[in-house]
Amino acid sequence: MGSTYRLADVAAIAGVGSTAFGRFPQRGPIGLAVEALKQALADATLTRDDVDGLVIHMGNPVGIDYDQFAAMTGLRTTFNVQLWTHGRWIGAALEQAAAAVALGLARCVAVVCAAKFSVLSQLGGAEDVEASREGGGSHGEAPHIGLMAPGSGAAMSARIYLERYGVTETDLAAVAIAARQAARRNPAAWRTEPLDVDTYLASRYIIAPLRVHDFAQVTDGACAVLVMRREEALDRTPAPVTIRATQSLPAGPDEFIFGRGGLGRGQEPMSAHRPAPRDLEIYARAGVDRKEIDALYTYDAFSPLVWFTLERFGFCGEGEAAAFCVGGGIAMDGPLPVNTNGGLLAEGHVAGWNSVVEMVRQIRGACGERQLSRAENLQWATAFGDSFVLSARAR
Amino acid sequence: MSTVEPTRPRPTIGVDSAPFWEYVARRELRVQRCTGCGALRLPPGPVCRRCWSDDHVWIPVSGRGVLHSWVTFHRQYHPAFPVPYTIGLVELAEGPRIEAPIVETNPKDLAWRRAVELVWQEHDGFVVPAFRIAPDPADDTPEDDA
């Protein structure tokens, strides 16, 4: 069914940049974003004048808005897109940039994400205006009954998974532990203290069944990714990485942002789960078999999302992801390393872009102590169904 | 030093959900039934997601259901909601699911797919539907192991 897709191997990531991840009360989101962009341009041996497109993921108040960012930094961009301030748009944002350069709407698109989460006293609660949308917030929030915070949506899905498949909270610990172990080999990671099962089980619940270690780090930081036509990137930049293919964010009555199909979230019936053809299309588009994926990168704002992703994309069968994680499946030396930087659970929370930067650096072999022995085809894929595959080569 | 009780946020009530809340204020739980295909729906909306009919009626539901999921807040996100408290995802006997407080229930009795029944809660003059674990008909002997 991939026959109408026209973006395979057309675009490349020409450069990446990232700030440190932490709490930076003296730095604003625009300052963070411009640092990441400068680094990405230096990485690609390009200059500010080469950037004619902007895709902004995460606007005010935690991030930057396209107009102010361009005006304050002297960018003159003729193609501008800004996505809703939610983490879910990573794949869609990269796809927008790839489509823009493929169609000649722009030559060099800077995809920029700044996330200064420390401006919020918490993620969720009375400040979260979007949660009070008529009919429910986008993660299932209902503030009038105290159902607040995006994590409540993940916790509600996790409870179904635990009960339906006979999985325990001890099993869930394996996800956060794997992220922490990856982070401990990453000098840029924010959260690197050792974490074992006992420490995990002794930690406090935030929204049971999820504990503090099941929640992303609340950090400040920014990342920038430069997208160009692959041919031009090969001509002009030292180490481009091919965007083999992309898959956008799906929507519909059987989509709930923090759970995979079949769990009975939203209003759809609970059912057996099998990866949907639509989800698996990424492999046909990219010309890469799932077995050829050397590591998986995913939006792990809450640890159960890793389970949902593994099952949604068929890396594990229904109800089997928990045991796969307990058995070391997602560890650095396991059959499918996940988020080798530590992800949002341990490295930092730049809405997933820090993990995209990691993918590029892994493919380039630039990850030092945590370098994968093989990083030919790396996949981004999420519980909500967006995906892309990056590779050093093309078909 | 005056103490003002923090108030709970009210839901955003627009044209689509106003009838739902008007019934709730009278302690009636109703859902929309599509006139075109008979599908029941929550949350309230202007069109049937199955057949796209714009026509519907509001029908009462039994108030019985099962507990499809639940979460317990241990972090206090809002001053009007002291922790711990539990919110359930209740699957009504008629099919639609609703998120609602789980009240009058011993946490030990929370169990997946267990029967629940509707009760009403009122805070600051605003009524919301809530649920409690339904008494087990096979277990109406007094607790003698306490």
Alpha carbon distance B84, A214 (integer Å): 18
Do B97 and B70 share a structural domain? yes
The answer as to whether B3 is a domain residue is: no
CA B41 to chain centre: 14
> Inter-chain contact A160–B112, Cβ cutoff 8 Å?
yes
Q: What is the pLDDT of residues A149-196, one digit of tens each?
A: 999 999 999 999 999 999 999 999 999 999 999 999 999 999 999 999
The helix (H) or strand (E) run that includes residue B18 is helix B18-25
Tokens of A72: 């304050």
CATH number of the CATH domain containing B100: 2.40.50
Alpha carbon distance A235, B85 (integer Å): 60
The predicted pLDDT at position A284 comes to 97
What pTM does this model have? 0.96
Do B75 and B56 share a structural domain? no
Confidence of residue A1 (pLDDT cuts 50, 70, 90): very low
Q: What is the pLDDT of residues A234-289, one digit of tens each?
A: 999 999 999 999 999 999 998 999 999 999 998 888 999 999 999 999 999 999 99
Predicted confidence (pLDDT) at residue B142 exceeds the cutoff of 60: no
Angle at A184 between CA A349 and CA A304, to 5 degrees: 50
Q: Which residues of B touch A122 (CB under 8 A)?
A: 77
> Inter-chain contact B12–A209, Cβ cutoff 8 Å?
no
Q: What is the pLDDT of residues A93-111, one digit of tens each?
A: 999 999 999 999 999 999 9
- Compute how many other C-beta atoms are within 10 angstroms of the C-beta atom of residue A12: 29
CA B130 to chain centre: 4
Alpha carbon distance A148, A132 (integer Å): 9
- Chain A contact present for B21, CB below 8 A: no
Contact, A378 vs A362, CB < 8 A?
A: yes
Q: Which residues of A touch B100 (CB under 8 A)?
A: 145
Q: How many domains does chain B have?
A: 2
Domains of chain A: 2-120+216-391 (3.40.47.10)
> Inter-chain contact A264–B112, Cβ cutoff 8 Å?
no
The predicted pLDDT at position A70 comes to 98
Q: Name the residue range of residue B33's domain.
A: 13-60
Of A133, A148, A160, the CB nearest to B78: A148
Rounded to the nearest angstrom, the minimum Cα separation between B129 and chain A is 10
The answer as to whether B99 is a domain residue is: yes
Interface predicted TM-score (ipTM) of this complex, two decimals? 0.95
Alpha carbon distance B134, A99 (integer Å): 54
Of A125, A146, A156, the CB nearest to B85: A146
Predicted confidence (pLDDT) at residue B146 exceeds the cutoff of 60: no
User: For chains A and B, what is the number of CB pairs under 8 angstroms?
Assistant: 109
What backbone phi and psi angles, to 5 degrees, belong to B67? -85, 105
Nearest residue to A370 (alpha-carbon basis) of A360, A378, A362: A362
What backbone phi and psi angles, to 5 degrees, belong to A257? -60, -40
Angle at A101 between CA A301 and CA A395, to 5 degrees: 80
Rounded to the nearest angstrom, the minimum Cα separation between A250 and chain B is 16
CA A233 to chain centre: 24
Residue written as tokens 């988020």?
A: A339
Do B48 and B31 share a structural domain? yes
Which of B73, B92, B124, B131 is most worth mutating to test chain A (most A CB atoms within 10 A of its CB)? B73
The answer as to whether B143 is a domain residue is: no
Alpha carbon distance A41, A56 (integer Å): 16
> Inter-chain contact A135–B70, Cβ cutoff 8 Å?
no
